[in-house]
Amino acid sequence: MASGSARSVPSAERSAGATEKVVTGPRTSSVGELLERSHRLGADPANTNYAGGNTSIKATATDPVTGNQVELMWVKGSGGDLGTLSEASLAVLRLDRLRALVEVYPGEEHEDEMVAAFDFCLHGRGGAAPSIDTAMHALVSSANVDHLHPDAGIAFATALDGEALTRACFGERVLWVPWRRPGFQLGLDIAAVAARHPEAIGVVLGGHGITAWGATSEECEARSLEIIRTAQSYIDANGRAEPFGSIVAANAPLPKAERHARAAALFPVLRGLSSTDARQVGHYDDSEVVLDFLARERHGHLVSKGTSCPDHFLRTKVRPMVLDLPAGTPTERALNRLRELHEAYRAEYRAYYDRYATADSPPMRGADPAIVLVPGVGMFSFGHDKQTARVAGEFYINAINVMRGAEALSVYEPIPESEKFRIEYWELEEQKLRRQRPQKALATRVAFVTGAGSGIGAATARRLAAEGACVVCADLDANKAASLASGIGNADAAVACGVDVSSETEVATAMQAAVLAFGGVDLVVNNAGMSISKSLMDTTVSDWDRQHAVMAKGSFLVSREAARVMVPQAMGGDIVYIVSKNAVFAGPNNLAYGSTKADQAHQVRLLAAELGEHAIRVNGVNPDGVVRGSGIFASGWGAQRAAVYGVAEEKLGEYYASRTLLKREVLPEHVANAVFVLASAELSHTTGLLIPVDAGVAAAFLR
């Protein structure tokens, strides 16, 4: 479960749209003030949503060419986030050039050309790409400007009588600017209001957000917060108590355990449906704000109106898909209805595109929902990676808060659908998409790796994450799994779970956790293992049962639970077994281990034959002598095998290497490489294969 207030951002996203190095002359103290102000404002999602809004500061600096003083503006660039803003994420522009654009502005129909003109106003290398909101910052004369998307402010902006409410709440201190698509003309409109009303501290932008200004950074921030807090106080004092209507008992939240079990049953199917046009990763939210909204009698009506401001529907699409059945509806009936609703949603979205698309519109990007709402269960959001999916959900929570405020005071009335389309399919938004980094090989894939706490499992989890996969690190030692996951990244990249793979209940619980974390599972690596080195007569029944429980039974249980996710998900998948050269090589004092490895090798063949019709590939890797970093070797197996071969334990890796054809030691990373290749697109037509990663052991050649 994730709260809608989280602001956890992977480092890879923090500098989106920025260059590696900005050369603009010496950094001024003004830049530091701007960054500190931005971080404070961006830390609270009630002030602005992730990557939404922008801040700026104007100051003079020395032109490195002429040595003269020049007026500059530093403003958050396209794609940056206020809460994590860095200097590299700022666009740096010359004010004289920006202001000169007023004289050549050809009109609103040429807005895209004006954004292109910003590139000719950059100072030095300029930093990040200027955003569409650059004009409002440049043309307002104040030295500091904040443009934000606070829930309380957008509640006024999307209320049917927003202008009258703004006047009643703020008087002449904060003024109203009617809806206009972001751009140069909106900047002119705001600047004109600021010039005509020197007593004003800011404006409410119809259908959009707020803008505030100030002579100093402190004054600007204080005014922004004054607008937000005054708006919220006005809603609290004057709004209706239950703007979403009364609670419908049939839509009340299910008990937590039942709710999560239902979510885990629905999520893979929803993910598969939402991946009809492009593969997606999911995020689940059952926070109180979501569950309460879905329990209310008016949620269906409000959902149909769509989301609030441009930043919202760019993340959430024009409107969510919502299940129109009671919370207690049997799962299979709910799934059938969701499939019907998905088909209808796609048809409606195509019709929406056809209604407003022109010859110059970008192609339709996909007709699947980004947000799916299920009363009693929660919200499922989707995106091309986990962070995008999570942020989409956070944006819809913003939209719920906006609807609550607008309905408390008036009637929620967002901008017309035609205007939403103009934003969603704006060429400038298309340019943002083109600036995104190319996806990695395993992007949108969710991997579940057992025995991930050390050795081959840890190396495999790291490799899969490095290739773009979201990774569930599963291990008997939950602390080791957690350490590995945190080393990979935040919860958008990897999560941990403790699991005994020999326990049917624990495996099912771990797989449910994986589904709730990322929406499903695409790649399973059966790596959990242990080993006992004894002769036949010394091997006890307990030894035999324990060895087979962890490896033969454990891999069966994990594969079965994975198949129960992958088959209804209908997105194909991969199951990779870490087997061993001992599956085919008869070594000394190795009965229990060797036989269970042979069992795993045949599971590969059997499951490949059974699951192929579902586009699920099943393959395996036969490593040998992987000593370094191995939990198995460190737990006693290394000492036992060294004794069998008559070598010192610390020389065991060298001994294994010496008996190979290539005379090379096999490391965990070599096995991880093989797993990646098996799961990649390059071997998309391969199943039932066992790949040796043993540096060449002739006796273990597959025949």
* Residues involved in catalysis: 593
Token digits of residue 438: 């190319």
Q: How many CB atoms lie within 10 A of CB 703?
A: 3
Contact between 196 and 140 under an 8 Å Cβ cutoff? The reply is no
Bridge partners, residue 574, by sequence: 523, 617
User: What region does 379 belong to: left with phi over 0, alpha with psi -120 to 50, or beta?
Assistant: beta
Sheet containing 690-693: give its strands across: 494-498, 470-475, 446-449, 523-526, 573-578, 616-623, 690-693
Cα–Cα distance, 222 to 232 (Å, whole number): 15
List Cβ neighbours of 560 (8 Å cut-off, separation of 6 or more). Answer: none
Contact between 385 and 287 under an 8 Å Cβ cutoff? The reply is no
CB environment 654-687: b (16+ within 10 A), e (fewer) = ebbbebbeeeebbbbbbbbbbbbebbeeeeeeeb
Maximum Cα–Cα distance across the chain: 97
Task: Tell me which H or E stretch contains 31.
Answer: helix 29-42
* Nearest C-alpha neighbor of 498 from the set 525, 529, 527, 477: 477
**Angle between the N-to-C axes of helices 111-118 and 95-104, in degrees from 0 to 180, rounded to the nearest 10:** 160
User: What region does 667 belong to: left with phi over 0, alpha with psi -120 to 50, or beta?
Assistant: beta
Q: How many CB atoms lie within 10 A of CB 401?
A: 22
Token digits of residue 209: 């957000």
Contact between 619 and 603 under an 8 Å Cβ cutoff? The reply is no
Cα–Cα distance, 592 to 612 (Å, whole number): 30
* Nearest C-alpha neighbor of 264 from the set 378, 353, 394, 97: 378
Phi, psi of 108 (to 5 degrees): -60, -30
Cα–Cα distance, 83 to 48 (Å, whole number): 9
CA angle 320, 321, 327 (to 5 degrees): 120
* Nearest C-alpha neighbor of 207 from the set 56, 129, 293, 313: 313
